[in-house]
Structure 1
Amino acid sequence: MSTPLATAEPRQRTLRRRGSATRRDHLVGYAMIAPQVLGAVAFVLVPLIAVAWYSLHEWNVLANTFVFAGADNYDRMLSDPALRDSLMASLVFSIGLVVLNVSLALLLAVLLNQKLPGTTTFRTFFFSPVVVSLVAWTIVWSFLLQDDGGINGFLASLGVEGPNWLRNEGTAMLAVIVVQVFKNVGLNMILFLAALQSVPEEIQEAARIDGAGAWRRFRSIVLPLISPTILLVSILTIVGSLEVFAQIAVLTGGGPGNSTTVLVYFLYQQAFRFNDFGYASAISVLLFVIVLALTLIQWQTRKRWVFDEV
């Protein structure tokens, strides 16, 4: 007959083994996520804190000055007309890019989702700009959009006199938007195409039998089912539109005037042309707040239009 002590000892050993296995699993898990956590801390959290700290100072590298200024840089932002112009340019660029990019990507995805010959070739054609170097892509377009470039040469062959696209305030922003749309529309197209191909054919067939037309099926069935992808694409496109820099630097240099000086390019000017790193850091904080706010707004409003969100 076993005693309570004899019965308890194996149970305690079992519990100790389980506890040891649990701790070992925890250590393995921590080891797995450690590189990502360390990377996020070193390259995201620490730079954010540093930029916030720098924004409270007047920092001129050439003059070798670093003086605490409190909220002076933020007060300066409130009364800086150049900053307001750059915010307006960023707004125009973002709206134009998001509307054209998302709508064109969805249209191309719908067309290329049809079972027609040659769709693979067209998918490759529209996606290939995504893998091309951004600077190389922009330089090519800068030659095409010059006053005597390829675009105006083609228009001249049709009897149309084209403007100097990159030196005209009425067309410079439009030209930059179109160049960026053609660069990245293929990526969004692929995302939409994958979402469209995941829509069950049975649901559309049932709606077709019930008499729903193509537009009604697309509006009432396809769009709700691909709404999570629409949310993803819209967030990525909006964030990307607020971070545009290379296209502006290569194509227009912020001109003509300040018509294409978006917020990131204005930040670059303050830091590396005027050597005012304190003010540039304050603008960086503003940019971070704008991106964070827009992302949170989209994320919170998803419950109203994203399918299967509660």
Structure 2
Amino acid sequence: MTSTAVRSTADTAERRGQPDRPRRSAAGRPRRSALARRDWVVGYTMVAPAVLGALAFVIAPLVAVSWFSLHDWNVLANTFVFSGTDNYERMLSDQGLHDSLLASLWFSIGLVVVNIALALFLAVMLNQKLPGTTTFRTFFFSPVVVSLVAWTIVWSFLLQADGGINGFLSLIGIDGPNWLRQDFTAMLSVIIVQVFKNVGMNMILFLAALQGVPEEIMEAARIDGAGAWRRFRSITLPMISPTILLVSILTIVGSLEVFAQIAVLTGGGPGNSTTVLVYYLYQQAFRFNDFGYASGVSVLLFVIVLILTLIQWQTRKRWVFHEN
């Protein structure tokens, strides 16, 4: 046997105990196997609908409305003239816009505080497994699946001066106000209508989070002498804080996008007391046909929602626990 054959036999024997090395291309890089290529194709195919949907229905409209906001666009007059930052400069002195921002602020504060507090309270009550909880849960969740416009129309009749609510109050000797024709009561009415429309969804989210709190931890705290309030504050709230973050983000964003309730109940009145930002945007676009300025207001709304969401997301590190 020649020396070359001996070396070949030795190399073969040495390689038998080692794993096969990937083939390398002429450039020295490993070749991508057929399985890896197939995984790559399948992965991108799966995410393609979401990416295309985001591009078509989120990114593209956002870019378009930003471009429109830089123009003086009147559909009836058929004018579309580049105006630069004129629309944004106009916002600084627009008293109507300032009033709508203030109305949106009061509406958002009232809705977020009442909605989250009531939803959490109802979820805690349902988590006690008392008799009739199924009926109670259905009663509060049913408005979520009811048509928003139909729900609001029913409440518009109840809130009239001679409506059902004042009729009930008169039975107990109370002369109710004209709920939709006074500044404070009109805003209060819109908030309450929206709270009862969506509190059921937040209630279910909180209930699911409460049922995920380990009973062993609660039992250990009970044995150590912790009262009900201490257990709720020190154990339950930290354990469900990720759900509180989710509910707060959804509720705040929803409060800034309210429109149908305002349009049906008050029409932005009395005066401008319930003209929130979205309704003001609608007025500028479809009542005054100033689509350029309305586009600028919509960009402002997007920026406000983005900032509030980022603030909540960044501050979560201080009060949200058990994220994993």
**TM norm. shorter chain > 0.5:** yes
Residue 257 of structure 1: SS of its match in structure 2?
Answer: coil
Counterpart of 1:22, as a letter, is: A
Q: Which residue of 2 aligns with 1:48?
A: 62
- Report the CA distance shift for 1:31/1:309 in structure 2 as closer, same or farther (over 3 A): closer
Q: Which runs of 5+ in 1 are unaligned?
A: none
Q: Which residue of 1 aligns with 2:212?
A: 198
Deviation at 1:18, TM superposition (A): 5.2
Q: Which residue of 2 aligns with 1:164?
A: 178
Deviation at 1:69, TM superposition (A): 0.2
Residue 259 of structure 1: SS of its match in structure 2?
Answer: coil
Counterpart of 2:220, as a letter, is: A
Q: Which residue of 2 aligns with 1:263?
A: 277
Deviation at 1:117, TM superposition (A): 1.1
Q: C-alpha deviations, 1:75-104, integer Å up to 9, x for none? A: 000110100000000000000000000000
Q: Which residue of 1 aligns with 2:189?
A: 175
**How far apart in 1 are the matches of 2:129 and 2:49?**
44
RMSD: 2.1
Q: Which has more radius of gyration?
A: 2
Deviation at 1:26, TM superposition (A): 0.6
Deviation at 1:21, TM superposition (A): 1.6
Deviation at 1:167, TM superposition (A): 1.0
What are the residue-to-residue correspondences of 1:47-66 with 2, within 5 Å?
A: 47-66=61-80
Q: Which residue of 1 aligns with 2:23?
A: 12
Asked whether 1:282 is paired with 2:296, we answer yes
- Is this contact kept in 2: 1:57–1:70, CA < 8 A? yes
Counterpart of 2:222, as a letter, is: R
- Is this contact kept in 2: 1:303–1:309, CA < 8 A? no
Counterpart of 1:106, as a letter, is: L
The percentage of counterpart residues that share the same residue type is 80
Counterpart of 1:221, as a letter, is: I
**How far apart in 1 are the matches of 2:22 and 2:267?**
74
Q: Which residue of 2 aligns with 1:140?
A: 154
Deviation at 1:13, TM superposition (A): 8.8
Counterpart of 1:209, as a letter, is: I
Question: What is the TM-score of this pair, normalised by structure 2?
Answer: 0.92
Deviation at 1:37, TM superposition (A): 0.4
Asked whether 1:187 is paired with 2:201, we answer yes
- More moved, 134-143 vs 115-124: 115-124
**How far apart in 1 are the matches of 2:46 and 2:237?**
38
**How far apart in 1 are the matches of 2:119 and 2:322?**
23
Deviation at 1:22, TM superposition (A): 1.0
What are the residue-to-residue correspondences of 1:1-310 with 2, within 5 Å?
A: 12=23, 19-308=33-322
**How far apart in 2 are the matches of 1:138 and 1:250?**
7
Counterpart of 1:254, as a letter, is: G
- Report the CA distance shift for 1:25/1:80 in structure 2 as closer, same or farther (over 3 A): same
Which runs of structure 1 show a deviation greater than 2 angstroms over 4 or more consecutive aligned residues?
1-5, 9-20
**How far apart in 1 are the matches of 2:142 and 2:100?**
31
Deviation at 1:17, TM superposition (A): 7.5
**How far apart in 2 are the matches of 1:17 and 1:73?**
56
**How far apart in 1 are the matches of 2:197 and 2:322?**
32
- Is this contact kept in 2: 1:97–1:177, CA < 8 A? yes
Residue 171 of structure 1: SS of its match in structure 2?
Answer: helix
Residue 80 of structure 2: SS of its match in structure 1?
Answer: strand
- More moved, 273-282 vs 116-125: 116-125
**How far apart in 1 are the matches of 2:111 and 2:24?**
64
Deviation at 1:115, TM superposition (A): 1.9
